[in-house]
Copies of this chain bind each other. A is one copy, B any other.
Amino acid sequence: MQRIVVLAGGVGGARFLRGLRAAVPEAEITVIGNTGDDIHLFGLKVCPDLDTVMYTLGGGIHPEQGWGRAEESFTVSEELAAYGVGPGWFSLGDRDLATHVVRTQMLTAGYPLSAVTEALCARWNPGVRLLPMTDDRVETHVLIDTTDLPEDQRGEGEPGRRAIHFQEYWVRLRASVPAHAVVPVGAEHSKPAPGVLEAIAEADVILFPPSNPVVSVGTILAVPGLREAIADAGVPVVGLSPIVGDAPVHGMADKVLAAIGVEATASAVARHYGSGLLDGWLVDEVDAGSVGDVETAGIRCRAVPLMMRDLDATTEMARAALELAAEVDA
């Protein structure tokens, strides 16, 4: 039985995983999920990326939106707003909230996030083993300059650089101002969650789905020991470009790529990961011209359709990634 490890962010990672599960239903898939976008809201611990993977694979996701629950209502949020409790910019549905209530209750009782995630998945049966990258608290912050904001949004205090939570940058500001730095706060002192290094060591292939290379895959790789474990695993590591035709397929990856000085192109992202980590890289057919550039960097590269239009298209992408893995392994 093939053992596959996938480093996943939110929407892109989750959709890719649906395709991968369909491509190789017999494989044992372990997902190492990003927790850098976790946030505490109303005293509740919210793990957007873990939940997006869990809901998507468990059949509870809002299908068009790609995050949050299907058939969602917002009664609790409206009531919280009536109490003047914010933030109003983060959408928290009633169904989704129940997940955070259960999670927070278990964390408060002393269970680590990995055990809580396993308990939540017992309901959703995602068909993969979902592990948080770490049980330690890591929250990604983005350094912005308040003078880049419209005057009415600058807030109190001296104008200048300010670190805000990634969710505030992504959801409230919609990445509308330059990110001067992206910092996974707490990552340097974090440890991989139980099972993470073991899964990497036992993997037959490791995949990077078309997730955000900075705030999703990049944050996972920032957990000490994780990048080294992948580089040293001695198995094919294959990624799929989240950039198609010089624009992110989903989200606003170009905004945070700029913060780390990486061009928003399929080949620049591959070179950012580097041949020390990546063995293979898939770019979209519209980026076929960059295949040579990626291969020059020592990374095997193929151009295939990379738009996750539906489950069939995504399944084909997963097959192409596994084929490229077999090829570099040969």
Contacts and interface: CB of A to CB of B under 8 A. Distances in A.
A101 interface: yes
Contacts of A123: 82-84
Contacts of A75: 73, 75, 94-95, 98
Nearest to A43: B105
| Interface of chain A, main secondary structure | helix
A101 B80 contact: yes
Interface string A67-91: 0000001011001101111000000
A108 B76 contact: no
Contacts of A84: 123
Nearest to A75: B94
Contacts of A42: 101-102, 105
B94 A79 contact: yes
A5 B9 CA distance: 57
A97 interface: yes
Given A43-B108, A101-B42, A105-B42, A94 B76 contact: yes
Given A82-B123, A120-B83, A123-B82, A76 B98 contact: yes
A181 interface: no
Interface in A100-115: 101-102, 104-105, 108
Contacts of A43: 101, 104-105, 108
A261 to B, nearest CB: 39
A109 to B, nearest CB: 8
A123 B102 CA distance: 27
A44 interface: yes
A88 to B, nearest CB: 13
Interface string A46-85: 0000000000000000000000000001011001101111
Contacts of A76: 76, 94-95, 97-98, 101
Given A43-B108, A75-B73, A80 B94 contact: no
B83 A44 contact: no
Contacts of A44: 101
A102 B73 contact: no
A46 to B, nearest CB: 13
A96 to B, nearest CB: 8
Given A73-B75, A83-B120, 7 more contacts: A42-B105, A75-B95, A76-B98, A76-B101, A79-B99, A82-B98, A82-B123
Interface of A: 42-44, 73, 75-76, 79-80, 82-85, 94-95, 97-99, 101-102, 104-105, 108, 120, 123
9 contacts: A42-B101, A75-B75, A75-B94, A75-B95, A76-B76, A76-B97, A76-B98, A83-B102, A94-B94
